[in-house]
Amino acid sequence: MDKAPQVKLHSTAHYFLEGLNEIGIEYLFSNFGTDHAPLIEEMARWKKEGRKFPKVLNCPHENTAMHMAAGYAMATGRGQAVMVHVDAGTANSAMAMHNARRGRLPLLLMAGKAPYTVRGELPGSRDNYVHFIQEPFDQAGIVRSYAKWEWTLPSGVMTKETLRRAHTVSHSDPRGPVYLMLPRETLAQTWDEGAVRPFPEERYGAVRSGAADTAAVAQVAERLLSAKHPVMVTSYAGRNLDAPALIEELARFAGIRVLEANPLYLNISRASPCFAGMMPAITDADVGLLVDVDVPWIPKHTRENPQTWWAHVDVDVVKECFPIWGFASNARLQGDSVLILKQLLEALRARATPAFRDAAAKRVEAMRGEGNERRAGLAKQAADKGKTGAINPHYLCAEISKAIGDDAIVVNEGIRNGPVVNNQIMRTEPGSSIGFAGGGLGSSSGTALGIKLAKPDATVVQMVGDGGFYFGNPSSAYAVSKQYKLPIFTVLFDNSGWSAVKEATLRVYPEGDAKATNEFNALLAPDIEFTKICEAAGGYGERVDDPEAVPAAIQRCLKEVRGGRSALMHVRIPVLGGNASFPRKRESSSVAQKSLGPRFRGDDV
């Protein structure tokens, strides 16, 4: 007589944790709510049984959680998971979803949904006031513009297939964030383990870009072989750590001037003779390469040469997320830029004549001289230290560059001072410079923490203005830094406002009433003690007003970071002009000794 089939029931939450393991999720950056009760219960059971599941990092604000996942992806290429609370947490995550989409970062954002049963018909039914008010008509609509894919888990039996699908879409080129909603009743369902099968990567995994058609590569090579003034403009090729050395090799071989436009990563050593800065000068170019770049220049402010022959090599040539784009090219090669540039270098080597090699070598020597002149100009700008209460950002960044070492990772959210950061803080190593892809300010705090999590031995330096610092939910970021032992060094440029707002107004109305009356509505509260935010979480804070105090202050902050706690150096740079004039307070000469450690002010050291 046949035995009855054996049924072994588990909750959807159980299969969910198994599914996260199967798709390789290492971290779950979380801001839990009432919708996650089945998951929290299952996690507790698994922990009690000694079973492994992704490490949970609880973040007091969703902005921190999202940008930590983004930073981790930037450092490793591996997307992680974020768990937030229904529509409210999704709304708090929307800005970071925008940034992740613009940065083409793999990331799985998940949110609960308010229970859909009202009277206890199913396990997980509504049992709280907020379950009635946290159900919008279209929760996914909050982030749909920034998600490659979104769905609601319909049944526990679909858990592993759904997670694999989300992971595959997110990690397929061009990469990007995805969004999954999890109803509480669905998480509480039970299913026989025989009904929930795995979906392995070898059969359902992501698709990566490849090389280009050899004929298309040959066409680009022929153009370069006859070029007199070739240029390359790039932004995010350096997401692949093999790219910077390859770009330099190609540039040296073919005598190509390499420009970075709003660099999201280090794309070439900035000490290279072929590196030509970050203000694309393309007027004289006869042949140009656009390599992994979204906005190579601002057409309104850039003199273009209509005779330039452009080839565009990119993981996303058509810019499918941009309703209007507008940069022409004669050849478009979509794929993996490292593979395509290797093909191009091989084609050039096979065809290069002695005359070509000689001309390319002369161009490299000419560029070397131009680079020396450019760096001399930057050194001259940095030689002016500024004055008390108005430290020169060029001088500040030059001193940071001297102190941090080649292996430090600089996360640049300086915005209007971002070019100063890029120009004055010399970066030469792949992965040592991280930029800002989107338009959502407040990314750098969480990004720096995510990079530190991925690279615990690295010194991570966050460069941020006071306006961006506010948006970054710093109290949440420093709490996470303390709880999970992720020390970062924050350098805060304080000009008491939003320089970008003022400058944008002047660009549109250069002689308008805003300029005449000095009314830009860009000033923020003056004399804020930003150091106290870091100190409140056990970090080290130091305010610097005196330019002579900068080098020693940097060293003290680095010592604290290397000793295991975050440090914030609050630097007063020239105050933003605009609809009021705020006097700078003169600080007392005493050094305050706090229970969380000494806080030095610039006038005192």
Residue 68 placed within a domain: yes
In a shared domain, residues 587 and 506: yes
Domain shared by 182 and 80, yes or no:
yes
- Tokens at 568, concatenated: 């914030």
150: pLDDT strictly greater than 70: yes
Above 80 in pLDDT, residue 77?
yes
Residue range 311-357, pLDDT digits in tens: 999 999 999 999 999 899 999 999 999 999 999 999 999 999 999 99
Do 498 and 569 lie in a common domain? yes
Does 576 score more than 90 pLDDT? no
Per the domain annotation, does 1 fall within a domain?
no
Q: How do residues 471-489 score in pLDDT, each as one tens digit?
A: 999 999 999 999 999 999 9
Tell the residue number behind the tokens 């430090």, with chain if given: 408
Model pLDDT for residues 176-203, shown as the tens digit of each residue: 999 999 999 999 999 999 999 999 999 9
Range of the domain at 129: 9-204
The whole-number pLDDT of residue 577 equals 61
Give the pLDDT band of residue 2 (cuts 50, 70, 90).
Answer: low
Higher pLDDT, 174 or 575: 174
Same domain, yes or no, for 585 and 445? Answer: yes
Residue 2 lies in a domain: no
Q: Residue 580: its pLDDT value, please?
A: 36
Mean of pLDDT values over 370-390 = 97
Is 549 in contact with 602 (CB distance < 8 Å)?
A: yes
For residues 156 and 275, state if they share a domain: no
Model pLDDT, residue 594 = 31
- pLDDT level of residue 575 (50, 70, 90 thresholds): confident
**Chain-wide mean pLDDT for the chain?**
93
Same domain, 571 and 427: yes
* 225 and 170, same domain (yes or no): no
Name the domain boundary from 184, 204, 224.
Answer: 204
Asked which of 79-88, 118-127, 532-541 is least confident by mean pLDDT, the reply is 118-127
Neighbours of 371 (CB within 10 A): 19
Residues 115 and 157 in one domain: yes
Q: Is residue 376 part of a domain?
A: no
Residue with tokens 């006097």: 583
For residue 566, the domain's CATH number is 3.40.50.970
Domain count, the chain: 3
Task: For the chain, give the longest Cα–Cα distance.
Answer: 96
Phi-psi region at 44: left, alpha or beta (left = phi > 0; alpha = psi -120 to 50): alpha
The more confident residue out of 255 and 577 is: 255
**Is 461 in contact with 447 (CB distance < 8 Å)?**
no
Q: What mean pLDDT comes out for the span 581-596?
A: 32
Residue 514 lies in a domain: yes
Q: What angle do CA 74, 237, 466 make, to 5 degrees?
A: 50
Give yes or no: residues 288 and 351 share one domain.
yes
Q: Do both 198 and 223 map to the same domain?
A: no
Residue 3 belongs to a domain: no
User: Could you tell me the pLDDT band of residue 604, with boundaries at 50, 70 and 90?
Assistant: very low
The predicted-structure confidence for 90-128, as pLDDT tens digits, reads as follows 999 999 999 999 999 999 999 999 999 999 999 999 999
Determine, yes or no, domain membership for 191. Answer: yes
Please indicate, yes or no, if residue 378 is contained in any of the structural domains.
Answer: no
Mean pLDDT for 541-566 is 98
CATH code of the domain containing 246: 3.40.50.1220
Cα torsion at 203, 206, 212, 214 (round to 10°)? -10
Q: In the predicted model, is pLDDT for residue 592 greater than 80?
A: no
Could you say which of 204, 233, 250 is where a domain stops? 204
Give yes or no for residue 600 having a pLDDT over 90. Answer: no
* Residue tagged 């979380």 (tokens): 30
Are 153 and 267 in the same domain? no
264 close to 454: Cβ distance less than 8 angstroms: no
294 phi and psi, to 5 degrees? -95, -50
The share of the chain scoring above pLDDT 70, in percent, equals: 94
Which pLDDT score is estimated for 518?
86
What percent of the chain has a predicted confidence (pLDDT) above 90? 86
Query: Two tokens at 76?
Result: 């490793």
- Give the pLDDT score at 328: 93
When pLDDT is averaged across residues 267-281 and rounded to a whole number, the result is 94
* 86 & 105 share domain: yes
Tell me if residue 153 falls in helix, strand or coil.
coil
Residues making up the chain, counted from first to last:
605
Q: Where does a domain end: 300, 334, 368?
A: 368
